[in-house]
Amino acid sequence: MLTGKAMTSRIDKRFAQCRAEKRAALVTFIMAGDPDAALSLDILKALPKSGADIIEVGMPFSDPMADGPAIQAAGLRAMRAGMTLKGVLAQVEAFRRDDADTPIVLMGYYNPIYVYGVDRFLADAKAAGVDGLIVVDLPPEEDVELCLPALRAGVSFIRLATPTTDDRRLPAVLANTSGFVYYVSVTGVTGQKRPDYSKVATAVRRIKAHTDLPVAVGFGVKDAAAAAEIGANADAVVVGSAIIDALARTLDADNRGGPAAVAAVSKLVNELAAGVASARR
């Protein structure tokens, strides 16, 4: 079994820093190339300054089955603007020129990686400065496809657990997971429901009984109050659709944006970071 713990990664260091500060981490999601490559990169660079501890970068895909309307629309805008997987890696590489510390996790689906070529993709991702992968349509039974090669390449493979992942299934889900565990707090697609906070706390405790990895909780976190509720029990709070919505509201009828998009996303992330920081005071 590979555990991905042979070295201390940026992800490990960031969680250690947050533990020392007695708070949860804030994990933010944006879609690479939304609404275009230049503005997407500006937003990406602004996230750490606004309070993001870890950044998930979406890889646009034409059939995003686990994503709700906001993230689906973001992916479509990105693809219409010409974003490709090679372009996603170029964005990470450009981000790394100014930021050597903030962990970057690519999130998406296996098909674009398969077409790119797994070995080539992992080599290019590592060289660009990618720290981890969340690939939502590869179950543990398919670890040989990408998970195990990723761990050998020094890239964390972050698995999702859900409200329907029972104690019999959890060991398989956690077997080769590294970096952190992403707990999906609601059933369904992203951005559509608010989580039941009492159930989230119970679920986090249950997962922690099976692993020493940090547990991040996402899906349905829309504002600072929700971030504080989740951050009181989880090791990290993940926010995606609310950030995409903040960006989308600044776009014109042709999906063009500008500095207002960066400002809107930065404002929301700053509020979310304050909510997370207040959770354990």
| Catalytic site positions | 56, 67
Taking the C-alpha atoms of residue 246 and residue 269, their distance in angstroms, rounded to an integer, is: 10
Residues sharing a CB contact under 8 Å with residue 215, sequence separation 6 or more, in sequence order: 180, 181, 183, 204, 207, 208, 234, 235, 236
Calculate Rg over the CA atoms of the chain.
17
Taking the C-alpha atoms of residue 24 and residue 147, their distance in angstroms, rounded to an integer, is: 26
CB 163 within 8 A of CB 199: yes
Picking from 239, 230, 212, 221, the residue whose alpha carbon sits closest to that of residue 280 is: 230
Taking the C-alpha atoms of residue 122 and residue 118, their distance in angstroms, rounded to an integer, is: 6
Residue count of the chain, please give it.
281
